[in-house]
Amino acid sequence: MRPFDGIKQGPSSSSGFEAGSKANVQYMGIPELRQKVNTLAKTLGEERVGHQRARQRILDKGEALAKVKDLLKEMKKKKKDCNALATLVVQASNEGLLDEYGALQAFLVDVFKAMVFGRRSRQMSTPTKEFYSIIMQNCGQMLHDFVSEMFCGPSSSSTRAFKAAVDYPFMLGLHQDYFKMAATIIKVWKLSDAPFLLSEDGSALQMRIDIAAVKGRPHVFGLCGNSFVVDTVQQFRDAARDLPVATTLYAYTLVPLIEGAPCIPLFAFGHDNSSSTFSTGLAKEIWKYIC
């Protein structure tokens, strides 16, 4: 049906119109009326959605502005802190402390960089890494996190990664280097006459055999006892046939009965929780022999 139903003849009238005049009258059927209403409703809906989006943009701008204000406040605080830190650094430099203690200079520079450029964007110096590694080693993670938060230092995971890279390697079994290291630590901390406990700690292992290259030679891990080197495939087969797969890792550590003194790792063994591999009594006899 067309929009206009046509031009109809109007009735005769005595109001001044000629009897034969024509009047334009628009007729609209039900389908066209429904379509018109739907189109109008759709238009109104789009306008409402547009108003909602515009309102949301205004709210987003308001939130963004609030965040910018908070950021400016934090930047002002950091600027004040940096100025105070810069004053302390200048004072230390004037007193000659930075020339005398190079590690202190590197540490303060790292703190300054962290406050200005952010903690994640700067590279820490070796003295700073060693400083936090010592705290992690001797005082634990809680104190490490406290000091790191105070001086804009690294996260505990970053310190562990650095510590794992620079610490002396730890192999399974009895090795002379570990006992030399223990003797050195005892001497440095003046613990020669201090009482010690020999601590044993076991951790469950995933039952598997790993082969790692150490200085170009294959070391086998995962069997009971020590890690060991194999030069041929037959040697590996013989060892795998004779030794059971370890289910537990037992670590033995010297614990000084002196407050604040460091614990000293001595040796560790793969174990299958049987009496045939290793025992605390054997560890005690070994320690008596070394002493």
Per residue in 230-268, pLDDT tens?
888 898 889 888 888 888 888 888 888 988 788 888 888
Cα–Cα nearest to 266, from 286, 248, 240: 286
In a domain, 74, yes or no: no
Specify whether the CB–CB gap between 219 and 267 falls below 8 A.
no
In a domain, 259, yes or no: yes
Query: How far apart are alpha carbons 41 and 73 in whole angstroms?
Result: 48
φ and ψ at residue 168, rounded to 5 degrees: -65, 140
Of 118, 146, 166, the one marking the end of a domain is 166
| Whether residues 153 and 247 fall in one domain | no
Of 145, 166, 187, the one marking the end of a domain is 166
200: helix, coil or strand? strand
Q: Given a cut of 70, is residue 147 above it in pLDDT? A: yes
Give the residue numbers spanning the domain of 156. Answer: 96-166
φ and ψ at residue 214, rounded to 5 degrees: -120, 115
Confidence (pTM): 0.43
Angle at 223 between CA 218 and CA 224, to 5 degrees: 130
Q: Which residues contact 131 (CB under 8 A, 6 or more apart)?
A: 103, 107
Query: How far apart are alpha carbons 182 and 76 in whole angstroms?
Result: 49
Query: How far apart are alpha carbons 66 and 68 in whole angstroms?
Result: 5
How does pLDDT run across 213-234, given as a tens digit for each residue?
777 788 888 888 888 888 888 9
In a domain, 25, yes or no: no
| Whether residues 185 and 284 fall in one domain | yes
